[in-house]
């Protein structure tokens, strides 16, 4: 495992950090798109989720590596988010802005606000900048005040927080009023905010989300998390998202650990052990992980973020259970990533999608609204922090 850690540290320092530092836009922020050959599209709109994930990435690189240059890049991303991505009239964050900071898509979404909290909390921990923490709390207050829906959270809104159809985070042929995906990442954001400041309000909301997962999202018969829901938490599709479940298998444990309440640690831990085992048996194939199952049919492409989360999820399961199969699986997936997923021709970022045999599945953008350094960078940082 120390060899794997060393390889990931080298990949982080020699590939991922230089690639993303090279996308700095001196006009402000980072370029919102880079083509398959790595060349930036200077006129592209700038996704706010992308910028939050860049801010999170550089902030955590600064902390783990004690890297002043990474902290300077984090500050550059932070200033862009602070100055151009917040809606000073209605609150919250825009979905995207133009290259020069005007609203491009002014929709509001709980998922987007969650990543803002996640990033701003990490930047506060890295820099000590109290303004960033205040902005994180402003998003927390907006979510709790404007996005609550019954015993959970709504998702998609117009600029003034009037609800609208959740086009952005639905899929599989339905429009969902609630999604596991948004709830998982809201939980992630609140975990980081609570870690930064231990405000009881955040802890209470975090515990409430654990209850939602345990009582509404988790399907004990299917040994999986359900994906898309109506307002009353009725599942709308027959989907097993292997990638989200292996990610949840460690993220949910992290939140329970940060909250520090033994009863939740036990209940969440029992559930995540089942999620990891289920994904291992159903989706771990030929040294990598399938992304999803729908109505009895597996999808076979290999998706960049799924592979990254699988390494962390299985490594975490090995630390938790001591079962060698998980450690071997984490190593195997890293070997697959190293062999096939890293684009060594265009700067060291990862291909987005591969076929099952490792061949490239289309020449998609290396950077875009969703294609970012969050999953693969976090994989490196998690393993580096776990393997001593």
Q: Is 84 helix (H, G, I), strand (E, B) or coil?
A: helix
Residue-wise pLDDT for 301-343, tens only, equals 999 999 999 999 999 999 999 999 999 999 999 999 999 999 9
Residue labelled with tokens 């209605």: 90
- According to the model, what pLDDT value does residue 350 have? 98
Alpha-carbon dihedral angle through residues 23, 351, 11, 385, given to the nearest 10 degrees: 100
Residue labelled with tokens 């005040």: 145
Tokens of 300: 């076979």
Cα separation, 259 vs 201, whole angstroms: 12
Q: Which whole number is the average pLDDT over 143-150?
A: 97
Cα separation, 366 vs 313, whole angstroms: 24
Q: How confident is the model at residue 295 (pLDDT cuts 50, 70, 90)?
A: very high
- According to the model, what pLDDT value does residue 281 have? 98
- According to the model, what pLDDT value does residue 386 have? 98
**In 3D, which of 176, 287, 310, 177 has the Cα closest to residue 241?**
310
Which residues have a Cβ under 8 Å from the Cβ of 188 and sit 6 or more positions away? 114, 118, 251, 255
Q: Which whole number is the average pLDDT over 77-93?
A: 98
Query: How far lies 94's CA from each of 103, 109, 143, 177, 220, in Å?
Result: 7, 8, 14, 20, 37
Neighbours of 24 (CB within 10 A): 17
CB 310 within 8 A of CB 304: no
Residue-wise pLDDT for 66-77, tens only, equals 999 999 999 999
Q: Is 79 helix (H, G, I), strand (E, B) or coil?
A: helix
Alpha-carbon dihedral angle through residues 135, 244, 59, 33, given to the nearest 10 degrees: -90
Cα separation, 205 vs 297, whole angstroms: 36
Q: Is 96 helix (H, G, I), strand (E, B) or coil?
A: strand
CB 178 within 8 A of CB 231: yes
Tokens of 36: 């398959």
Neighbours of 183 (CB within 10 A): 24
Cα separation, 192 vs 38, whole angstroms: 31
- According to the model, what pLDDT value does residue 8 have? 98
Cα separation, 67 vs 91, whole angstroms: 33
Q: Which whole number is the average pLDDT over 2-21?
A: 98
All domains in the chain, ordered by first residue? 2-386 (1.50.10.10)
Mean pLDDT of the chain: 98
- According to the model, what pLDDT value does residue 388 have? 86
Neighbours of 296 (CB within 10 A): 7
Cα separation, 170 vs 145, whole angstroms: 23
* 171 alpha carbon, distance to own chain's centre: 18
CB 214 within 8 A of CB 271: yes
Residue labelled with tokens 């009239």: 89
Tokens of 74: 């984090």
Q: Which whole number is the average pLDDT over 18-38?
A: 98
pTM of the model: 0.98
Report the sign of the C-alpha dihedral through residues 359, 365, 370, 371, in that order.
positive
């Amino acid at each position: 495992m120390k060899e794997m850690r060393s390889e990931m540290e080298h990949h982080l320092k020699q590939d991922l950090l230089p690639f993303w530092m090279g996308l700095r836009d001196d006009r402000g922020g980072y370029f919102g798109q880079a083509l398959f050959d790595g060349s930036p599209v200077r006129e592209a709109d700038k996704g706010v989720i992308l910028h939050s994930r860049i801010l999170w990435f550089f902030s955590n690189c600064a902390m783990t590596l004690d890297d002043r240059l990474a902290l300077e890049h984090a500050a550059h991303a932070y200033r862009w988010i602070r100055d151009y991505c917040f809606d000073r009239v209605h609150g919250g964050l825009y979905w995207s802005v133009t290259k020069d900071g005007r609203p491009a898509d002014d929709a509001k979404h709980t998922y987007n606000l969650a990543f803002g909290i996640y990033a701003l909390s990490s930047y506060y921990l890295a820099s000590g900048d109290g303004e960033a923490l205040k902005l994180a709390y402003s998003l927390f207050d907006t979510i709790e005040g404007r996005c609550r829906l019954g015993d959970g959270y709504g998702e998609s809104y117009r600029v003034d927080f009037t609800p609208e159809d959740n086009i952005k985070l639905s899929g599989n042929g339905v429009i969902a009023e609630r999604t596991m995906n948004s709830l998982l990442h809201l939980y992630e954001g609140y975990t980081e905010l609570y870690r930064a400041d231990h405000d009881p309000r955040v802890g209470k909301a975090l515990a409430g989300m654990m209850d939602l997962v345990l009582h509404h999202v988790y399907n004990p018969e299917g040994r999986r998390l359900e994906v898309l829901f109506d307002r009353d938490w009725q599942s709308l599709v027959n989907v097993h998202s292997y990638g989200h479940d292996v990610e949840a298998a460690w993220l949910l444990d992290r939140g329970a650990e940060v909250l520090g309440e033994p009863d939740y640690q036990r209940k969440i831990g029992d559930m995540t052990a089942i999620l990891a085992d289920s994904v291992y048996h159903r989706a771990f194939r030929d040294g990598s992980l399938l992304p999803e199952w729908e109505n009895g049919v597996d999808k076979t492409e290999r998706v960049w973020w799924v592979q990254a989360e699988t390494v962390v999820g299985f490594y975490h399961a090995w630390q938790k259970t001591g079962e060698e199969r998980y450690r071997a699986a984490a190593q195997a997936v890293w070997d697959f990533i190293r062999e096939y997923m890293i684009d060594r021709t265009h700067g060291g970022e990862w291909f987005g999608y591969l076929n099952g045999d490792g061949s490239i599945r289309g020449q998609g953008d290396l950077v875009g609204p969703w294609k970012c350094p969050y999953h693969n960078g976090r994989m490196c940082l998690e393993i580096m922090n776990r393997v001593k």
